Each structure stands twice: as C-alpha cells, then as structure tokens.
C-alpha cells in the first residue's frame, strides 16, 4: 500500500502555481497523495524511494520492480526530474546535469513482474559546496502508454558523512547561558556551568549533574562514557569551530533554489523478467 500511494502521488513545487523547482524530497517525501489515482492504478512499483547514500559511498545502481496488473502489455517510459537541492550556495557548481540518455522505456507483460536498473552518476559539487553537505533529490518520472503516470523519489547526500561534525562546539547557542560558553559543558542544580576541567566541584546526589550538549547534525545514536580523571583516553572530537555551519532553513534569503538533477545511465540489457511473487 505504501508503494502504491507513493508512486501515484503528485510532486509539489516550491511555490504554488509554478511547476519548478520541486520541493526537496527530504521535506515532501513522495508528494501529495492522490487516493483516486491509487485506487484506479493497475501498475505497481517498488521500492517506494531510492536511497543513494553519500557520494563517498555512492549507491549508483538502483533496481526498480514493476508489476503489471493490466489486461494487456504496457510499455513504461522513465526519465529524471530534479528537486530542490538544500544547503547549496555556490552557484558555480555543476549540480544540475541533464538525464543521459533523455528517456528510456521498459515493457511488462500482463500479470507479470519486470525489473529494470537505473545507474546514477554522482552529482558534481565544488569543495565549498561539499563542506555544506548538501542534500540533493528528485523523482524518477514514469509514463505508461495507457496514459498512467507514476513517480519514485530519490535522494542522496553530497560528501562523506564520516567527515561531518556532529557535536556543536561553538558559543552560538551556549553563549546565551553565559558569554563565551561553548558546548559541551556540565552544571548542577545551581545552573552554574563548570568551566575548568581541573577545578573540583561538589554536586548533590539527589539532583545529579546535567550534561549540556547540542547536536550540530542528526545522528542515529550516541553514548556518554564516564571515565577516571587520570584516564589516558585521547578524545577524537574535532576541535574545529563550526560556527559558520549552523543549521539553515529553506527560507534563508541567500539559499539557492535551483533544481538539482542527477545524470543517470539506464542499461536496458540489465533488465530481466522475474516470476510474479
């Protein structure tokens, strides 16, 4: 059901009354659900979205499955339509290449399941763009010769996620508590940060210690370890100041709203028919 609702949805542009650029897939997902179109559909696609990973570990080859429930064979043509790239500022970067070749087709016999592969080419970003870790996205648009149309969203991440700084170590927000204060820091119920790592401070057992930190980027999980004061542990937290890399929103005035396309190569020889499950 999820794949059906997603593939028959309608992609949403950034501004009402326009056709492009499309809102980033990270915000709109598969688009606006169209229940009537999903009810009438006789073609089913999976997966419901394509994950391209970061460009350092790029998942270039993606497999799409079509199940044709029509009473006759259907030919499907597919192409690429890019959506808004988020966190891209340098307009000199080549992040909107066209689809090559322009569009390809794949047939499916009635009652059968067919698969085809899409091979993406990683988008080209400048070093300055990669330092902002932009999220690019778009839709594989599919048009059937029986007038049906479908779409599959995709998105990826430029750069290497391993290089992304997770912990905020600036005074941008912590400084609101005390001037010059940087994350992370600890404090007790007196709300006074402990600033010196060599100063001994007493804390109440009943109230404990508050560890204050801020994530500059999302992460799946984190842990906090309590170690002895004389530990030989060498911390790996980057000392880099990321004050200029604070979270930005799509409403920022200097945000580039150009479309972000991915070049794809779609070898039909990789396609094959598979028995219906």
Residue 116, token pair as written in the block: 């085809």
Is the domain of 187 the same as that of 134? no
Overall number of domains in the chain: 2
Cα separation, 240 vs 231, in Å, equals 23
Residue 192, domain member (yes or no): yes
Cα separation, 265 vs 101, in Å, equals 7
Is the domain of 17 the same as that of 124? yes
Cα separation, 105 vs 77, in Å, equals 4
List the CATH number of the domain containing 29.
2.60.40.10
Per the document, the length of the chain is 277
Cα separation, 178 vs 189, in Å, equals 16
Is the domain of 150 the same as that of 211? no
Q: What is the pLDDT of residue 273?
A: 32
Is the domain of 69 the same as that of 191? no
| Contacts with 270 (C-beta within 8 Å, 6 or more apart), sequence order | 116, 117
Is the domain of 70 the same as that of 186? no
Residue 145, domain member (yes or no): yes
Q: 240-257 in b/e burial notation, b at 16+ Cβ within 10 A?
A: eebeebeeeeeeeeebbe
Is the domain of 72 the same as that of 175? no
Is the domain of 265 the same as that of 235? no
Q: What is the pLDDT of residue 193?
A: 86
Q: Are β-strands 61-68 and 104-108 bridged in parallel, bridged antiparallel, or unpaired?
A: unpaired
Residue 180, domain member (yes or no): yes
Instruction: Render 17-45 in DSSP notation, one character per residue.
Output: T---SBPPHHHHTT-B--HHHHHH--EEE
Domain coverage including residue 215: 166-241
Residue pLDDT tens, the chain, 277 long:
888 999 999 999 988 888 888 888 888 988 999 999 999 999 999 999 999 998 889 898 889 999 999 899 999 888 888 887 776 433 433 344 333 444 566 677 888 898 888 888 888 777 877 777 888 889 999 999 988 999 999 988 888 888 877 888 888 778 877 888 888 888 888 888 887 777 788 888 888 888 888 887 777 888 888 888 788 887 766 544 444 444 444 344 333 434 444 444 443 333 333 333 3
64: left (phi over 0), alpha (psi -120 to 50) or beta: beta
H or E element at residue 128: helix 127-130
166: left (phi over 0), alpha (psi -120 to 50) or beta: alpha
Residue 69, domain member (yes or no): yes
Is the domain of 188 the same as that of 228? yes
Residue 248, domain member (yes or no): no
Residue 185, domain member (yes or no): yes
Is the domain of 200 the same as that of 226? yes
Match 């890399």 to its residue by tokens: 245
Is the domain of 176 the same as that of 266? no
Is the domain of 143 the same as that of 260? yes
Residue 120, domain member (yes or no): yes
Is the domain of 121 the same as that of 211? no
Q: What is the pLDDT of residue 209?
A: 87
Residue 246, domain member (yes or no): no
Q: What is the pLDDT of residue 109?
A: 82
Q: What is the pLDDT of residue 274?
A: 34
- For the beta carbon of residue 64, count every other beta carbon within 10 angstroms: 22
| Contacts with 205 (C-beta within 8 Å, 6 or more apart), sequence order | none
């Amino acid at each position: 059901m999820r794949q059906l609702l997603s593939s028959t949805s309608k992609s949403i542009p950034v501004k009402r009354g326009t056709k492009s650029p499309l809102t980033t897939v990270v915000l709109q997902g598969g688009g606006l659900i169209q229940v009537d179109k999903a009810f009438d559909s006789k073609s089913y696609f999976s997966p419901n979205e394509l994950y391209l990973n970061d460009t350092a570990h790029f998942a270039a080859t993606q497999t799409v499955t079509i199940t044709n429930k029509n009473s006759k064979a259907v030919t499907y043509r597919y192409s690429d339509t890019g959506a808004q790239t988020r966190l891209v500022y340098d307009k000199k970067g080549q992040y909107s290449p066209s689809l090559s070749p322009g569009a390809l087709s794949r047939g499916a016999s009635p009652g059968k399941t067919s698969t085809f592969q899409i091979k993406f080419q990683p988008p080209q970003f400048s070093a300055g763009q990669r330092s902002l870790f932009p999220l690019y996205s778009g839709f594989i648009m599919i048009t059937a010769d029986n007038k049906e149309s479908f779409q599959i969203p995709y998105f990826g991440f430029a750069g290497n996620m391993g290089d992304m700084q997770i912990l905020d170590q600036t005074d941008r927000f912590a400084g609101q508590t005390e001037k010059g204060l940087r994350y992370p820091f600890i404090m007790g119920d007196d709300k006074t940060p402990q600033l010196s790592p060599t100063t001994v401070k007493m804390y109440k057992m009943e109230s404990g210690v508050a560890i204050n930190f801020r994530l500059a980027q999302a992460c799946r999980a984190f842990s906090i370890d309590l170690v002895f004061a004389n530990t030989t542990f060498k911390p790996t937290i980057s000392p880099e100041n990321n004050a200029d890399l604070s979270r930005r929103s799509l409403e920022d005035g200097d945000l580039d709203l150009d479309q972000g396309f991915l070049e794809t190569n779609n070898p039909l020889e990789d396609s094959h028919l598979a028995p219906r499950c």
